[in-house]
Amino acid sequence: MPDPSGGVAALVLPLVLLAAALHATWNALVKAGSDRLALQGLVMLSPAILAAPLLPFLPLPAPAAWPFLAASVVLHIAYNSLLVAAYRHGDLSQVYPIARGSAPLLVALGGWVLAGEAKTTAELFAIAVISAGILALALRHGPARIGEGRAVALAFCVGLSIAAYSLTDGLGGRASEAVGSYIAWLFFLEGLLFMAIVAWCRRGRLVATFRPILLPGLGGGVIAGLGYGIVVWAMSVAPMAQVVALRETSVLMAAAIGAFLLKEGFGARRIAASACVVIGAVLLQLAS
C-alpha cells in the first residue's frame, strides 16, 4: 500500500477535493448540452490534444503498465457512453449521485482483493457512510417519472464502470514507473478513439454538430482532464478507496448545480444526505 508522507500526503486531500469540484462542473455541462454525445466527445478530445505534444518528451510507461492502459481506454469509453445514455433519461441530481455513490465500496473491495489494501473497520464504516449519503441524494419524492427506472439502471452501470477504471488506473499508475506518462497516454488514446466513434455517429453533419459547442466542449475537456489527472496521481501515492471516496464528495456540488441552475429540486432530505457525505469524508481521513 502506498504510504504518502510529508508534503505529498498534505497535497492529497485538497487536490482530490479540487478534482471533485472539477468533475461535477463538467458533468453539469454535459447534462445541460443539447447534443450530449457530441459534447462528451469534445470533452474527451481536449485532454488528448493537450497530451499529444508532451508524449515525445515523456518516458514510456513500463511494459507492465500497458495492459492496464489498454483496459482503461476500453473502460473509459464504456463509462462515457453509459453516462451520456443515463443523462438522456435522468436528472443530474439523480444520475450523478447513484453513479458516483456506488463506486467507493466496489473500489474498496477491489483494492482489497487486487492490491492488498486491507481496510480497518473504521475505514470501511466511513466509506459506507459516504456511499449511503450519496445514494440517499438520489432518492426522489412522489411517483417515478417515465424513463426513471432506465436512468437508475444506467447510473448503476456507470458506477460499475467507475469502479473498474479506478482500480485499473490505480494499478496501472503504480506499475507505470512514470505516472505522468501513464496519464498522458491514457488521455491521448481514449480521446482519439472516443472522438472517432462520435464523428462516425454524426457523420455527414460534423460542422453543424460541433460548431455551436466547440468552445464549451473543449473547455469542459480541460476541466475534466485536470480533474482526472489529479485523481490518477493521487491513487498512485495513496490508497485507492480513500481517494475515490473523497472524490465522490463532488455530489455536493452536482446536487447544488442540479437544484439551483438546472431546477431539479433539492429538499431537506438531500441536504441531510449531503451532510452525511461530508461526515463520511471526515471520518475516512480520521480513520486513515
Percent of the residues in the chain that have a pLDDT greater than 70, as a whole number? 91
Cβ burial of 141 (10 Å; 0-12, 13-18, 19+) is exposed
Inform me whether the pLDDT recorded for 114 exceeds 80.
no
Query: pLDDT per residue over 238-283, tens digit each?
Result: 887 778 778 878 888 888 888 788 888 666 677 788 888 878 877 8
pLDDT digits (tens, 9 = 90+) for 11-69: 888 899 899 889 899 999 899 888 999 999 999 999 999 999 999 999 999 999 999 99
Whose grid coordinates read 464528495?
A: 249
pLDDT at 143 over 70: no
**pLDDT tier for residue 161 given thresholds of 50, 70 and 90:** very high
How sure is the predictor about 4, in pLDDT bands with cuts at 50, 70 and 90? low
Mean pLDDT computed over every residue of the chain = 85
Report the percentage of the chain scoring pLDDT > 90.
36
pLDDT of residue 1: 47
Question: Per-residue pLDDT tens for 175-200?
Answer: 999 989 999 999 999 999 999 999 99
Residue range 57-84, pLDDT digits in tens: 999 999 999 999 999 999 999 999 999 9
Contact at 8 Å (CB) between 156 and 94? no
DSSP string covering 23-35, please? Answer: HHHHHHHHHH-SS
pLDDT at 145: 61
280 near 101, Cβ under 8 Å?
no
